[in-house]
Structure 1
Amino acid sequence: MWQEVIEIEGPYQFDRVIERHAIDPLNQVDLQKRLIKVPILIEEKNQYIVEVTGLGTVNKPVFKLTGNNSKQKEAQIKRISEIFQWNTSLKQVNRHFQQTDLRDLFQEHFGTPLVLDFDPFSCLVKCIIHQQLNLSFSHTLTERFVKTFGNEIDGVWFYPNPEIVANITVEQLRDMQFSSRKGEYVIGIGIAVAERDLEFEALARKSEEEIFNELIKIRGIGAWTIQNFLLFALGRPNLFPATDIGIQNALKKLYRLDRKPTLEEIEQYKHRWEPYLSYAALYLWRSIE
């Protein structure tokens, strides 16, 4: 076991982060103790648990990290920092938006960070499972999938690795209430990663256009899934999913429109928010939750 205390530049709303994670029944979160247990994958196969506890305030964030295994400790800390985006200056982001029409939103949700999913493969699988489902049933379906094919360490669940997913049958997923098509898509993602047709480390180094062109070739992956992957697996800071219904509803509310804005209108709005479009999207989503 190991421990490390890390201080970062504020603002940073850790309580908002763990409240968001608490919605997912697979996540181990204690809101009173301000902690979350994070499943960490290093080199795609080494599994660790890191408990992250918030000790500081919004303006002076401090975190205690407790690991269950000191092997690859520095890599674990690095990955935790990436997931929680501790190297991004929210002060600079917030300052940028004070000069825009999103100023009030950034004051209301002051210090809310863009946080990544725990690993790219599980992010992509979760996006496929969640497609065209309400939030409650999508969590139920994901929980069934992970608890059937994944593994658990100290109460923390890991998604099944690509090799396991590649060998699941559609019939097994149909028994869990997957549609045949959704089952095929999930298995196809597993096969693509297991056979190295899709490599996340190489993908992360590419431009958004290159990533889009690579992922769109895979069955079941459309623009919505790719945008979610870019945001919540790779943490790209300047991405705006203009076709997302939630974003459109948030803009309708913000500008007091009697209809959803057109894509042309959204294009006019969003240029003012660059180069932090991802944060604009995040805070707009927060405004209607």
Structure 2
Amino acid sequence: MWMETIDVTAPYHFERILERLTSDPLNVIDLDNRSISLPLRNKDQEPSIVLVKAIGTIEQPVFQVSGEKEADKDDLLKEVKRIFQWETNLLPVMEHFKLSNLAAIFEEHAGTPLVLDFNLYHCLVKCMIHQQLNLSFAHKLTARFVQTFGEQKDGVWFYPLPESIAGLDYSQLRELQFSMRKAEYVIDTSRMIAGGELRLEELPSLSDEEIMEKLVKIRGIGPWTVQNVLLFGLGRPNLFPLADIGIQNALKKHFGLEKKPTKEEMLEWSKEWHPFLSYASLYLWRSIE
């Protein structure tokens, strides 16, 4: 066993993170204990549970991180810091939006960081499953997928590896209520990753535009999916998914509109949100959750 105490720059509202993460039934969260059990993998792709527990406050954020094998400590700590964006200072973001047209939302949800999915394959598959589905059924379908083909360790579910999904027949996903197209998209993309045709580990070194160009060529991956991968897989700070219904509804509510805003209106409002569009997106989602 290993344990490390990490200090994070304030403000940092961990309770808001946990509340948001409880919407996914696969996440193992203890709200009373202010903790989450992360299903991570070590460099050999072996499953390893890392417990992240808040022991500080919003204005003095401190975390206790513990794991299993000492040999995995450095790699897994790096992953935890990446997922929870502990090395990103939120103060410049908060200052940027103080005088913006989203000032009220940012004041209400101050200190809410952008939290990433637990690994890039996990993020890509989840985004593909969630395409064109209501959120409740999307979570159910994703849970079925993971609980059928992933692995469980001490009550924590781990997403399957691409190699496992690459070997499936489309009918095996159809049995879980996947549409035929969605089954093809998930399995075919997993085969590309397992075969080395798509190398996810190369994506962090590419620009947003290069990643968009690369991924939209793959059948079943459109701009909405790529934007979500950039946002929740890679933590890119300046993403604003114009076609996202949740963001449209949040803007309709925030600006007191009778109908959803037009693309032109969204582009005009968002001019003053650069270079932190991703935070505008996150806080708009938060405002209607």
TM-score interval (norm. to shorter): over 0.9
For 1:126, the equivalent position in structure 2 comes to: 126
Shift of 1:44: 6.6
For 1:29, the equivalent position in structure 2 comes to: 29
Q: Equivalent residue of 1:3, what SS?
A: strand
Q: Equivalent residue of 1:81, what SS?
A: helix
Pairing 1:105-124 to 2, within 5 Å after superposition:
105-124=105-124
Q: Deviations over 1:187-239 (max 9, x none)?
A: 01211110111112211110111000110011110111111100000000011
Shift of 1:43: 3.5
Q: Equivalent residue of 1:66, what SS?
A: strand
Q: Deviations over 1:87-145 (max 9, x none)?
A: 11111110111021111111100101100000000111111111122222211111111
Q: Does 1:140 align with 2:140?
A: yes
| Cα 1:44–1:22 shift into 2, 3 Å | farther
Q: Does 1:279 align with 2:279?
A: yes
Q: Distance in 2 between matches of 1:246 and 1:20?
A: 14
Pairing 1:8-157 to 2, within 5 Å after superposition:
8-43=8-43, 45-157=45-157
Q: Equivalent residue of 2:165, what SS?
A: helix
After superposing on structure 2, the runs of 4+ consecutive aligned residues of structure 1 that deviate more than 6 Å are none
Letter in 1 for 2:91: K
Q: Distance in 1 between matches of 2:95 and 2:67?
A: 35
Shift of 1:243: 1.5
Letter in 2 for 1:236: R
Q: Distance in 1 between matches of 2:245 and 2:147?
A: 31
Letter in 1 for 2:200: F
Aligned-residue sequence identity (percent) comes to 54
Q: Distance in 2 between matches of 1:144 and 1:27?
A: 13
Letter in 2 for 1:250: A
Q: Deviations over 1:19-77 (max 9, x none)?
A: 11112111111000000000112437133211000111111100000102212211111
Structure 2: stretches of 5+ with no match in the other structure: none
Q: Distance in 2 between matches of 1:23 and 1:253?
A: 22
Q: Does 1:191 align with 2:191?
A: yes
For 1:211, the equivalent position in structure 2 comes to: 211
Letter in 2 for 1:64: Q
For 1:162, the equivalent position in structure 2 comes to: 162
CA RMSD of aligned residues (A): 1.1
Q: Distance in 2 between matches of 1:134 and 1:237?
A: 26
Q: Distance in 1 between matches of 2:148 and 2:12?
A: 36
Shift of 1:177: 1.0
Q: Distance in 1 between matches of 2:71 and 2:156?
A: 18
What is the TM-score with the length of structure 1 in the denominator? 0.97
Q: Distance in 1 between matches of 2:243 and 2:25?
A: 28
Shift of 1:148: 1.1
Letter in 1 for 2:18: I
Letter in 1 for 2:281: A
Q: Equivalent residue of 1:38, what SS?
A: strand
Letter in 2 for 1:261: P
Letter in 2 for 1:132: Q
Q: Equivalent residue of 1:72, what SS?
A: helix
Q: Distance in 2 between matches of 1:16 and 1:2?
A: 27
Number of residue pairs aligned between Structure 1 and Structure 2: 289
Structure 1: stretches of 5+ with no match in the other structure: none
Q: Distance in 2 between matches of 1:281 and 1:56?
A: 27
For 1:4, the equivalent position in structure 2 comes to: 4
Letter in 2 for 1:197: E
